[in-house]
């Protein structure tokens, strides 16, 4: 479960940083 949340958070942050 943690891995899933981590991936989701990483994807969210990456999308925010990239725009």
Per-residue pLDDT tens over the stretch 1-19? 899 999 999 999 999 988 7
Please give the pLDDT value at position 15. 92
pLDDT score of 6: 97
Q: 10 in helix, strand or coil? A: helix
15: Cα separation from own chain's centroid:
8
pLDDT at residue 18, as a whole number:
80
pLDDT at position 17 is: 86
- State how far the alpha carbon of 1 is from the alpha carbons of 15, 18, 19, in Å: 21, 26, 27
Question: Three-state DSSP class for 19?
Answer: coil
* Total-model pTM: 0.16
């Amino acid at each position: 479960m943690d891995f899933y949340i981590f991936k989701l958070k990483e994807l969210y942050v990456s999308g925010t940083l990239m725009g």
